[in-house]
Amino acid sequence: MKLQNPEKRYLFPEDYMADPSVHVFDGKIYIYPSHDWECANVENDNGDQYVMKDMHVLSIDGDPMTGKVTDHGKALDIADIPWAGRQLWDCDCVEKDGKYYLYFPLKDKNDIFRIGVAVADRPEGPFVAQPDPIRGSYSIDICVLKDGEDYYLYFGGLWGGQLQRYKDNKALEFPELPEGDAPSLPSRCVRLSKDMLQYAEEPRPIQVVDEEGNPLKANDPHRFFEASWVHKYNGKYYFSYSTGDSHLLCYAVGDNPYGPFVYQGEILTPVVGWTTHHSIIEYEGKWYLFHHDSVPSGGKSWLRSLKVCELHYDADGKILPIDGGGN
């Protein structure tokens, strides 16, 4: 399929932010990004260079390609979270009954990623964190989908995201990262409890499968790595994700929140910078891809900048792939 090169906009040149989770609340676009910091750590596969300590909420007045972007200031700070260790990574936010619930991955004092919840009365926060992480939570990269009366939380990330340390929701003594022809490690999905503060069930694996129904293999450059996002289009569930070390955004389509999702193709070719991470929303009848790259920092993978561009589907509901501008 021919690569698109739509106009792209850097949303917030004032600061380095990444991993945009974007939603429309009361007709306005809100962005829940990670807040990147300069750091002296050596860049490594454990992600020690991503040293985020707080997060801000941004909003856009009207059209995302032209509207004024407002920084609502610090909405969450790890100094206020009792169980915090380090590294506040990709968050997501959802509204229920006039309250806003922010889900965030953060390492605890034992350097294990857990998922916390913080609550606010307004979409821009400030958010107050619950005193403990969600029971049984692990790994990173949150997306929350409201589907009818139910709310589903997607999570998971390999390598520094620690997903390989778990099997059947139990911590392993030794991590198991599949290789070669073995099935790749799946993202996870879990329905939230009615009060939005715990899981209502055990997290389930989200399989991305080929046309024959076989899970993508560990050595497939299109396999899931991190950055789950789910949106609905024409009644179908679109599960999109980053492929990590092959630096793509890809997607797969299913009939319900748990999948399986049949692999469809690439959304974004590599950007400048190691990580690629995104969200997809509809706003006033148009679709947008929010993501990040490291062009403004001169390629420093841990100093990323938020971007947006329009996204298009063909008549069969296939997403037209976009040129990320990297290698």
Residues that bind ligand FUB (CB under 6 A): 18-19, 34, 50, 89-90, 140-141, 157, 226-227, 275, 277
90 vs 266, which CB is nearer to ligand FUB?
90
Least distance between ligand FUB and beta carbon 161 (Å): 6
Least distance between ligand FUB and beta carbon 84 (Å): 16
> Whose CA is closest to 10, among 300, 271, 290?
290
How many residues appear in the chain?
A: 327
124 vs 141, which CB is nearer to ligand FUB?
141
Nearest-Å Rg of the Cα atoms of the chain is 18
Least distance between ligand FUB and beta carbon 276 (Å): 7
Least distance between ligand FUB and beta carbon 275 (Å): 4
CB 39 within 8 A of CB 49: yes
Residues labelled catalytic:
19, 226
Q: Burial letters for 55-91: b for 16+ Cβ neighbours within 10 Å, e otherwise?
A: bbbbbbeeebbebebeebebbbbbeebebbeebbbbb
105 vs 260, which CB is nearer to ligand FUB?
105
3-state secondary structure 39-101: CCCCCCCCCCCCCCCEEEEEEECCCCCCCCEEEEEEEEEHHHCCCEEEEECCCEEEEECCEEE
List of residues 6+ apart from 285 with CB closer than 8 A = none
3-state secondary structure of 246: helix
140 vs 208, which CB is nearer to ligand FUB?
140
Two tokens at 118? 């913080």
State how far the alpha carbon of 297 is from the alpha carbons of 153, 160, 176, in Å: 32, 22, 35
143 vs 145, which CB is nearer to ligand FUB?
143
Least distance between ligand FUB and beta carbon 242 (Å): 6
